[in-house]
Amino acid sequence: MRTWLERVWFEGAPGGAWLWPLSALFAILVWLRRRAYRLGWLRSGHPGVPVVVIGNLTVGGSGKTPLTVWLALQLQARGWRVGIVTRGYGGRIVAPRRITATDDAHIVGDEPVLLARRARCLVVVARDRLAGARLLAPDVDVILADDGLQHYRLRRDMEIAVVDGLRAVGNGRLLPWGPLRESVARLSEVDQVVVNGGSATEGSRSMTLTPEAFVEVSTQARSALGEWAGRTVHAVAGIGHPARFFATLRLLGLHVLEHPLPDHAPIGQDQVSFADDYAVVMTEKDAVKCANLTPASRFYLEVNATFSASDAEQLMARVMACVTPSEGK
């Protein structure tokens, strides 16, 4: 079902028109929910320190987590104490909880562990992002909310929307007829749009996910990208858009045997064990779920969000203008 829907959403496949009543109902519910927060019928709150929300309009991956890591490192380099609040999809945490890079990804979620490893800052997992932000607030100067654009209970000082440069907004329709959680018009309301892997429109910033190295899962030994050209590998990807990962590996010169999994899918021995001797390559988000598996020839591709010098400067100028208190406040 999900495969068919994605073909309708992103490839223009026929069918799906019968979903329009559900899409219309979803649009009404989205409008009513946001209206309820604006009128105070549903309660929202602010943790007392600046909040930057990073999110998207479409279901599936768009590059939010790499951008969150990049922003955290940029802010820390400027002397800010950063905290990240995230939902922890795929995990089993109910009450807000601080996590570390050594926590079990099957319990707390894959993205929180990845964020803790790469951003090197405080990370809180919380279904209620406001409660999570309040847990962070006493110890940080700014909070980044990963995938929090539609979590209106948490008031924010800045919104950044990430758009997949390849798939954009698909057919432009709301769920379930299309991939959108909110109308495309929502992009005109955010403070900054970041386009991942495509041409940025006027006023937006262009981001690229740049491969850095292949890293062995158990030993963390690194190998250069060029050493892998011509090799055949099993590619495992439990992310929102596995095809992007497979295409990246092919651009690096690898012969890819594809093994797509649902986003945030649990990964066990069966998902990374094969009858041949080919190495297994996965995303870093998947690799955090393999720490306790029997060591074998398993690697992840480390990627970093990168910007042109101009786009990086302009994006950080917008961020700093939003999170830095004005005189007299």
DSSP string, 11-38: H--S--GGGHHHHHHHHHHHHHHHHHHH
Same domain assignment for residues 198 and 230: no
**CA-based Rg of the chain, rounded to a whole angstrom?**
20
Residue 290 has pLDDT above 50, yes or no: yes
Domain annotation covers residue 288: yes
Same domain assignment for residues 242 and 122: no
Domain annotation covers residue 73: yes
Same domain assignment for residues 145 and 81: yes
Residue 54: CATH number of its domain: 3.40.50
Same domain assignment for residues 170 and 237: no
Same domain assignment for residues 197 and 251: no
Domain annotation covers residue 88: yes
Same domain assignment for residues 201 and 251: no
Domain annotation covers residue 190: yes
Same domain assignment for residues 35 and 56: yes
Task: Give Cα separations from 233 to 86, 186, 242 (angstroms).
Answer: 32, 40, 15
Q: Which residues pair with 208 in a beta bridge?
A: 306
- When pLDDT is cut at 50, 70 and 90, the band that residue 10 belongs to is confident
List the structure tokens of 219.
Answer: 């030993």
Domain annotation covers residue 25: yes
List the structure tokens of 308.
Answer: 């042109």
Per-residue pLDDT reduced to its tens digit, 149-199: 999 999 999 999 999 998 899 999 999 999 999 999 999 999 999 999 977
How many C-beta atoms surround the C-beta of residue 161 within 10 A?
Answer: 24
Task: Give Cα separations from 191 to 6, 89, 163, 195 (angstroms).
Answer: 28, 26, 14, 14
Same domain assignment for residues 186 and 229: no
Number of structural domains (the chain) is 2
- Omega before residue 50 within 30° of 0, cis: no
Domain annotation covers residue 3: no
Same domain assignment for residues 196 and 69: yes
Q: What are the two backbone dihedrals, phi and then psi, of residue 205, each rounded to the nearest 5 degrees?
A: -115, 145
Same domain assignment for residues 161 and 151: yes
Q: Put residue 263 in one of left, alpha, beta given phi > 0 → left and psi -120 to 50 → alpha.
A: beta
Q: Which domain holds residue 225?
A: 209-305
Same domain assignment for residues 68 and 113: yes
List the structure tokens of 167.
Answer: 């798939």
Amino acid at 222: R
Give the mean pLDDT of the chain: 93
**What whole-number distance in Å separates Cα of residue 329 and Cα of residue 320?**
15
Q: What is the pTM of this model?
A: 0.94
Same domain assignment for residues 177 and 67: yes
List the structure tokens of 50.
Answer: 């600046």
Per-residue pLDDT reduced to its tens digit, 231-252: 999 999 998 889 999 999 999 9
Domain annotation covers residue 93: yes
How many C-beta atoms surround the C-beta of residue 215 within 10 A?
Answer: 17
Domain annotation covers residue 5: no
Residue 307 has pLDDT above 90, yes or no: yes
